[in-house]
């Protein structure tokens, strides 16, 4: 790229997240300069449908003026304050009340952070603090799942169950371990029903807990639908069976609602869609429609009460961030929640989801398509080398990445997670926009079929 272009300045200066660094030096960036509704614009003015709402987060699209106004008003009133040593702000309290009022089960208190990773890191510490408070210091192990995604800071990357997040980072840390990924299409045995698969996974979970020693297992963390692992839905009956086992051994259930929260699955919470009763709930992303960084952890009353006793003993709950409960982020989040309510965003998702899910399944007969899955306004199409055996493509071929690249050229941003192509558009998407999104996907899939046919 020319020496003074944004692309060349980017290459000269930027260390990119989740990017093949070598390849980036030649390919350069996509420079995104603007947004309108579900569309983003590059520096040449070309528009793309953002089929992933950015990183599963910009639920209200890219030009919601009310959020801009909320941020400006909050900046004028009080651009910053913190929550250490018992300080607070009205807007932070308003947001905490509003969040608690939406919780899928009664929750007692909210802790604010700035990202999903920070929230999940905080959860690990909360769980340890809680068990220290109960004077059972051995109960420290946290079970997460293979292919789960919980972030990239040291503890949350440890919870994440994807090899790239562990290899070369010396993770996971002690006391964090992984159990089965609940993907029936990939890991179900031939002829095994979803229900039987769920039973087998729950049995494995119980065996693992017994092998570790139930007195050492503190918590189980799960996304209602696994996102970055490839949009993996739980098999029928899975959470019911898992939760029965957690209850039996006094193990906390942590719901990572960072993607599923705020309407994505057709209910306010993924917990409601899948019958999850969490002791701790984590949310971020759509909490502010991604306009400013903010995340939240809701905890149950028994956890809070134990923490109070512990802080009484040692003097202080020694955790929190400079920007916990940031007033400007809080104002934007509160306005976002008001908009969800006023525009009945959950109702809109319920109304439009059948169209998206029908579109996704309409590709089932295409030669490269293995599984079509999803619910609400989230889904994926998994590409496979062999439809009969579900055999994947050689990862080196980069079939998913090829398709995503063709889609981008055709004006559609999608995410390839290996060879699973994710769909997670802004929740404000209309029926006509959905049709256009899948017409663009269809074209990219056709180009990928041609490329592979050679
Ligand atoms: N949890 C889930 C389910 C996520 O999808 C993500 C991010 O994609 C995170 C946690 C981490 O959030 P962040 O990237 O804000 O740290």
Confidence label for 3 from pLDDT (cuts 50, 70 and 90)? confident
Predicted pLDDT at 209: 98
Query: Which among 342, 372, 401 is the end of a domain?
Result: 342
Determine the length of the chain. Answer: 454
Report pLDDT digits (tens) over 345-381. Answer: 999 999 999 999 999 999 999 999 999 999 999 999 9
Residues 160 and 290 both lie in one domain? yes
Query: Which among 278, 310, 342 is the end of a domain?
Result: 342
Mean pLDDT, to the nearest integer, of 110-122? Answer: 98
Q: Ligand 1: which residue has its CA nearest to atom 1?
A: 150
Q: Which residues line ligand 1 at a C-beta cut-off of 6 Å? A: 55-56, 115-117, 120, 149-151, 223, 227-228, 256, 258-259, 284
Residues 99 and 241 both lie in one domain? yes
Domain with 97 in it: what CATH number? 3.40.640.10
Residues 408 and 331 both lie in one domain? no
Whether residue 359 is contained in a domain is answered as yes
Whether residue 2 is contained in a domain is answered as no
Residues 182 and 156 both lie in one domain? yes
Residues 443 and 336 both lie in one domain? no
Ligand 1 atom at minimal distance to the Cα of residue 284: 15
Whether residue 381 is contained in a domain is answered as yes
Task: Report pTM.
Answer: 0.98
- 308 has pLDDT over 80: yes
Mean pLDDT, to the nearest integer, of 324-342? Answer: 98
Residues 402 and 352 both lie in one domain? yes
Domain with 371 in it: what CATH number? 3.90.1150.10
Domain range spanning residue 427? Answer: 31-63+344-453
Q: Is 280 helix (H, G, I), strand (E, B) or coil?
A: strand
Residues 319 and 198 both lie in one domain? yes
Q: Is 105 helix (H, G, I), strand (E, B) or coil?
A: coil
Predicted pLDDT at 98: 98
Q: Measuring CA to CA, which residue among 351, 454, 453, 444 is closest to residue 51?
A: 444
- 52 has pLDDT over 80: yes
Query: Which among 342, 364, 383 is the end of a domain?
Result: 342
The pick from 121, 158, 259 for probing ligand 1's pocket by mutation, whose C-beta has the most ligand atoms within 8 angstroms, reads 259
Question: Dihedral of the CA atoms 202, 207, 212, 214 (nearest 10)?
Answer: 70
Residues 233 and 179 both lie in one domain? yes
Give the chain's domain count.
2
Ligand 1 atom at minimal distance to the Cα of residue 118: 16
Predicted pLDDT at 315: 84
Report pLDDT digits (tens) over 58-76. Answer: 999 999 999 999 999 999 9
Quick check: 440 and 68 in contact, CB under 8 A?
Answer: no
Mean pLDDT, to the nearest integer, of 151-160? Answer: 98
Confidence label for 447 from pLDDT (cuts 50, 70 and 90)? very high
Report pLDDT digits (tens) over 134-146. Answer: 999 999 999 999 9
* 272 CA distance to ligand 1 middle (Å): 20
Confidence label for 34 from pLDDT (cuts 50, 70 and 90)? very high
Predicted pLDDT at 198: 98
Any residues with CB less than 8 A from the CB of 15 and at least 6 apart, and which? 21
Residues 73 and 216 both lie in one domain? yes
Ligand 1 atom at minimal distance to the Cα of residue 257: 3
Under DSSP, the state recorded for 148 is -
Long-range contacts of range 19-22, CB-CB < 8 Å, 24 or more positions apart?
A: none
In DSSP notation, 184-217 reads: HHHHSPTT--HHHHHHHHHHHHHHHHHHH-GGGE
* 117 CA distance to ligand 1 middle (Å): 6
pLDDT averaged over the chain? Answer: 97
Predicted pLDDT at 399: 98
Report pLDDT digits (tens) over 397-433. Answer: 999 999 999 999 999 999 999 999 999 999 999 999 9
- Which phi and psi (to 5°) does residue 199 adopt? -65, -45
Ligand 1 atom at minimal distance to the Cα of residue 117: 16
Whether residue 110 is contained in a domain is answered as yes
Residues 113 and 248 both lie in one domain? yes
Q: Measuring CA to CA, which residue among 364, 377, 382, 366 is closest to residue 420?
A: 382
Ligand 1 atom at minimal distance to the Cα of residue 148: 3
Whether residue 406 is contained in a domain is answered as yes
Whether residue 201 is contained in a domain is answered as yes
Whether residue 15 is contained in a domain is answered as no
Whether residue 334 is contained in a domain is answered as yes
Under DSSP, the state recorded for 284 is -
Residues 51 and 155 both lie in one domain? no
Residues 304 and 356 both lie in one domain? no
Predicted complex ipTM exceeds 0.85: yes
């Amino acid at each position: 790229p020319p020496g003074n272009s944004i692309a060349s300045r980017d290459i000269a200066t930027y260390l990119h997240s989740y990017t093949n660094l070598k390849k980036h030096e030649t390919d350069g960036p996509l420079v995104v300069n603007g947004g309108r509704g579900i569309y983003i614009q590059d520096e040449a003015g070309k528009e793309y449908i953002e089929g992933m709402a950015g990183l599963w987060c910009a639920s209200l699209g890219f030009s919601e003026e009310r959020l801009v106004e909320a941020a400006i008003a909050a900046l004028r009133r009080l651009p910053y304050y913190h929550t250490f040593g018992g300080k607070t702000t009205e807007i932070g309290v308003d947001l905490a009340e509003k969040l608690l009022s939406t919780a899928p089960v009664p929750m007692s208190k909210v802790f604010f952070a700035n990202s999903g990773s920070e929230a999940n890191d905080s959860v690990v510490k909360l769980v340890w603090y809680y068990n220290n408070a109960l004077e059972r210091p051995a109960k420290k192990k946290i079970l997460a799942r293979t292919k789960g995604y919980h972030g990239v800071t040291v503890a949350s990357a440890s919870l994440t169950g994807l090899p790239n997040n562990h290899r070369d980072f010396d993770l996971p840390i002690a006391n964090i371990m992984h159990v089965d990924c609940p993907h029936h299409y990939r890991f179900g045995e031939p002829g095994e029903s979803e229900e039987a698969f769920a039973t087998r996974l729950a049995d494995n979970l119980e065996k693992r807990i017994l092998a570790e020693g139930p007195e050492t297992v503190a918590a189980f963390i799960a996304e209602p639908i696994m996102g970055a692992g490839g949009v993996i839905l739980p098999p029928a009956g899975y959470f019911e069976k898992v939760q029965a086992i957690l209850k039996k051994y006094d193990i906390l259930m942590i719901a990572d609602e960072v993607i599923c929260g705020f309407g994505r699955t057709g209910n306010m919470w993924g917990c409601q869609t899948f019958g999850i009763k969490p002791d701790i709930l984590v949310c971020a992303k759509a909490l502010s429609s991604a306009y400013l960084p903010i995340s939240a952890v809701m905890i149950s009353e028994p956890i809070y009460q134990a923490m109070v006793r512990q802080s009484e003993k040692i003097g202080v709950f020694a955790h929190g961030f400079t920007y916990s409960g940031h007033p400007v982020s809080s104002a934007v989040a509160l306005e976002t929640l008001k908009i969800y309510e006023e525009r009945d965003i959950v109702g809109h998702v319920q109304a439009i989801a059948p169209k998206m899910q029908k579109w996704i399944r309409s590709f089932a007969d295409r030669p490269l398509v293995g599984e079509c899955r999803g619910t609400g306004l989230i889904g994926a199409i998994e590409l496979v080398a062999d439809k009969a055996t579900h055999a994947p493509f050689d990862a080196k071929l980069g079939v998913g990445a090829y398709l995503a690249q063709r889609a981008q050229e055709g004006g559609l941003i999608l995410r390839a997670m290996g060879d699973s192509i994710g769909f997670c558009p802004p929740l404000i998407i209309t029926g006509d926009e959905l049709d256009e999104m899948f017409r663009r996907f269809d074209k990219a899939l056709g180009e990928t079929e041609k490329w592979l046919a050679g």
